[in-house]
């Protein structure tokens, strides 16, 4: 599925740089936030701030880069319930 | 009692075990936890010196949770035969063990409420309050401060949010003047405020009046 990303600022207190992620039908599927320097091993990673539908699940993962985030999102959007 | 020193991050007992002894935590911090089918850990309680986190195995043959050390721990293993013998000979100790398991159940009820119905900020404040009161009761906390070697990953697994979220909440708490941290030392400048934020009432710990005043 082709995902579309749209930059957005997120009010999280510290990490503001984020992306809205839309699915192939341009429905909002997730919000990703870029982790700033305050996180020991995972600064610079992308964090699943919020997921909707099949992406609404406990345990918000972090991704080393956007490609990894995209793979994970596609995988879970495609998953049969 | 057989005493062992166990490194940090080691399982003392595991879910599914059929132990013939229970472990008394003599020093260090441990946690009681369960793991979901897809490998996610939920910490259901923190254990501190004086606790017997698997006392239930005296009567329940198969353990339905695991116990792991969070720091290096000194653990005393007491055989179930010895425990049964003590219980038969000293009814007051039997009553104390029973009371201990009832208080454990009260703590679990509070944690279900905490994880299910409070926001992350309150959840963490609540657990901090609980640890301060319990540690003070055994002489391991000053009025406003204690050594709390619990990592952000462990906090996250205890309150059911991500490590990123715990990191942010702790940053917010520092910025709001609720806590001060230095290494593993946590101090609380205003306990009443932290209790208010954490919706914390120590009644569920069933401590004596003076201990609960922490």
Copy the structure tokens of residue A47.
Answer: 């964090």
Inspect the interface and report whether the beta carbons of A12 and B160 lie closer than 8 Å: no
The DSSP symbol for B79 reads: E
Q: pLDDT averaged over chain B?
A: 95
Inspect the interface and report whether the beta carbons of A13 and B171 lie closer than 8 Å: yes
B167 to chain A: closest CA residue: A39
CB B80, CB B21: distance < 8 Å: yes
Rounded to 10 degrees, what is the CA torsion of B204, B205, B206, B207?
-150
pLDDT-based confidence at A14, cuts 50/70/90? confident
CATH value of B2-89 in 3.40.1010.10, 2.60.40.10, 3.90.76.10, 2.60.120.10: 2.60.120.10
Chain B residue numbers with beta carbons less than 8 Å from the beta carbon of A60 are 162, 164-165
CB A42, CB A35: distance < 8 Å: yes
* Residue A1 clears pLDDT 80, i.e. is over it: no
Task: Write the pLDDT tens digit of every residue in B118-137.
Answer: 999 999 999 999 999 999 99
Q: What is the mean pLDDT of residues B53-67?
A: 97
Nearest 5°: the CA angle A7, A48, B70 is 145
Q: Residue B104: its pLDDT value, please?
A: 96
Q: What is the mean pLDDT of residues B50-68?
A: 97
Rounded to 10 degrees, what is the CA torsion of B48, B51, B57, B63?
-10
- The CATH 2.60.120.10 domain(s) of chain B lie at 2-89
pLDDT-based confidence at B79, cuts 50/70/90? very high
- The Cα-based distances of B87 to B80, B94, B118, B140 in angstroms read 10, 5, 39, 29
Chain B residue numbers with beta carbons less than 8 Å from the beta carbon of A62 are 164
pLDDT-based confidence at B212, cuts 50/70/90? low
Task: Write the pLDDT tens digit of every residue in A15-68.
Answer: 789 999 999 999 999 999 999 988 888 899 999 999 999 999 877 999 999 999
* Widest pairwise Cα distance in chain B: 55
How far off is chain A from B161, nearest CA to CA, in Å? 7
Please tell me if residue A39 touches chain B, with a CB cutoff of 8 Å: yes
B164 to chain A: closest CA residue: A39
Higher-confidence position of B143 and A30: A30
Reported as type and span, the H/E element at residue B191 is helix B191-197
Chain A residue numbers with beta carbons less than 8 Å from the beta carbon of B37 are none
- B35 by DSSP, 3-state: which? strand
| B113/B110 Cα distance (integer angstroms) | 5
* Residue B107 clears pLDDT 70, i.e. is over it: yes
Q: Which residues of A33-42 are buried (b: 16+ CB within 10 A; e: fewer)?
A: bbbeeebeee
Fold of the B119-212 domain: Arc Repressor Mutant, subunit A (1.10.10)
| B148/B151 Cα distance (integer angstroms) | 9
Inspect the interface and report whether the beta carbons of A60 and B165 lie closer than 8 Å: yes
Sort residue B206 into left (φ over 0), alpha (ψ -120 to 50) or beta.
Answer: left
B172 to chain A: closest CA residue: A13
Percent of chain B with pLDDT over 90: 94
The ipTM, to two decimals, is 0.89
């Amino acid at each position: 599925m082709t995902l579309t990303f749209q930059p957005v600022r997120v009010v999280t207190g510290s990490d503001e740089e984020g992306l809205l992620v839309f699915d192939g039908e341009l429905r909002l599927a997730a919000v990703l936030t870029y982790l700033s320097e305050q996180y020991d091993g995972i600064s610079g990673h992308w964090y699943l701030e919020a997921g909707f539908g099949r992406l609404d699940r406990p345990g918000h993962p972090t991704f080393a880069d956007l490609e990894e985030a995209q793979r994970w999102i596609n995988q879970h959007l495609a998953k049969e319930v | 009692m057989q005493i062992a020193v166990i490194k940090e991050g080691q399982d003392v007992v595991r879910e599914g075990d059929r132990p013939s002894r229970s472990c008394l935590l003599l020093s260090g911090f441990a946690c009681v936890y369960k793991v979901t089918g897809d490998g996610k850990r939920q910490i259901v309680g923190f254990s501190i010196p004086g606790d017997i986190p698997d006392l239930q195995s005296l009567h329940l043959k198969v353990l339905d949770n695991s116990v792991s050390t969070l720091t290096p721990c000194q653990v005393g293993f007491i055989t179930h035969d010895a425990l049964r013998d003590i219980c038969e000979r000293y009814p007051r100790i039997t009553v104390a063990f029973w009371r201990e398991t009832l208080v454990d159940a009260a703590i679990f009820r509070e944690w279900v409420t905490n994880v299910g119905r409070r926001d992350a900020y309150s959840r963490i404040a609540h657990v901090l309050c609980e640890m301060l009161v319990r540690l003070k009761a055994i002489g391991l906390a000053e009025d406003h401060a204690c050594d709390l070697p619990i990592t952000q990953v462990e906090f996250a697994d205890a309150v059911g949010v991500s490590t990123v979220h715990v990191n942010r909440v702790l940053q917010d708490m520092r910025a709001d003047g609720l806590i001060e941290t230095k290494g593993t030392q946590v101090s609380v400048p205003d306990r009443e405020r932290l209790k208010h934020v954490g919706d914390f009432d120590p009644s569920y710990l069933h401590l004596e009046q003076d201990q609960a005043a922490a």
